[in-house]
Amino acid sequence: MVSRTVEASDSGDVKDAGAGRAPEGMAGLAKGLAVIEAFGRTSSQLTVADAARLTGVTRAAARRCLLTLTDLGYLDHDGKYFRPTPRMLRLGSAYLDTASLPALANPHLVAARDTLNESVSLAVWEDGWSVFVARAEVERIVSTGVRIGARLPAHCSATGRVLLAGLGDEEVASYLARGGRERRTIRTVIDPDELTRLVRSARVDGYGTSDEELELGMRAVAVPVHDARGRTVAAISVSASSARVSAEEMHRDFVPVLAAHSARLGRML
């Protein structure tokens, strides 16, 4: 959930209440960006009340932001609900078109996809979420539903567990202490002790898994991507139907391929 509290001075500048000073920022822009980020986390459509609740701004401010975004063509409005338009994709493409990591990763994702005949994705960490920034698709009648820009909760996704494994123990403990973990299926692990064990296992083994925890009938495996300093900067993953690929096959056949391409990508960073 997005929760942003923005304090503004009379001039409209953003004021850092904690630091007691006003940096050169725009409160209106900060509120607008918070509203944009609210889409997709819990719903593909928002009312004024939803936007205010999710961002921590007043209903009046949320309404102004939503109407401005509608006037600019980023949102549609049916009188009650606001929904993103395709123009919203321009905001994400600004990162994807200029970031070196997705561009460098793409040839490796394609090669791994061609070897495994499964879609392969690249994800990065963002405040408790695994965010997909690159993907090489394989055409199938049934899709896994993963797309660029999709966000998966870290506690029950293979990429999330690998990215958590790259954090320090204190950071992992802090994440697990937040609570609020959703049980997506009957197999979703939410117990903090068991999650700690799974994260440590991913750190030691060099890969993480999620077996029907996000969606029944789907399992995934992921490996970390390390930069030149050994820091985990991303995770490469494969999701597949549990009816088509067994957990043993994922470990035996998928992990070595993903690890090989991860290592090659890491040497380029």
- Give residue 95's pLDDT: 64
Judged by average pLDDT, the poorest of 54-58, 108-112, 258-262 is 54-58
Kindly state the average pLDDT of the residues 174-188. Answer: 91
Report the distance separating Cα 2 and Cα 41, nearest Å: 8
Average pLDDT of the residues of the chain: 85
- Give residue 141's pLDDT: 53
Write the pLDDT tens digit of every residue in 201-215.
Answer: 999 999 999 999 999
Is pLDDT at 156 greater than 70 in this prediction? Answer: yes
The residues facing 125 across adjacent strands are 130
Report the distance separating Cα 126 and Cα 149, nearest Å: 12
DSSP one-letter string for 58-124: -HHHHHHHHHHHHHTTSEEE-SS-EEE-GGGHHHHHHHHTT-HHHHHHHHHHHHHHHHHTS-EEEEE
% of the chain at pLDDT higher than 90: 60
Name the residue among 30, 148, 32, 127 with its Cα closest to residue 82.
Answer: 32
Is pLDDT at 6 greater than 70 in this prediction? Answer: no
Kindly state the average pLDDT of the residues 131-159. Answer: 83
Kindly state the average pLDDT of the residues 135-158. Answer: 81
Report the distance separating Cα 122 and Cα 7, nearest Å: 36
Q: Per-residue confidence at 143, pLDDT binned at 50, 70, 90?
A: low
pTM to 2 decimal places: 0.67
CATH topology of domain 99-268: Beta-Lactamase (3.30.450)
Is pLDDT at 8 greater than 50 in this prediction? Answer: no
Q: Where are the domains of the chain?
A: 7-86, 99-268
Assign domain 7-86 to a CATH class.
mainly alpha
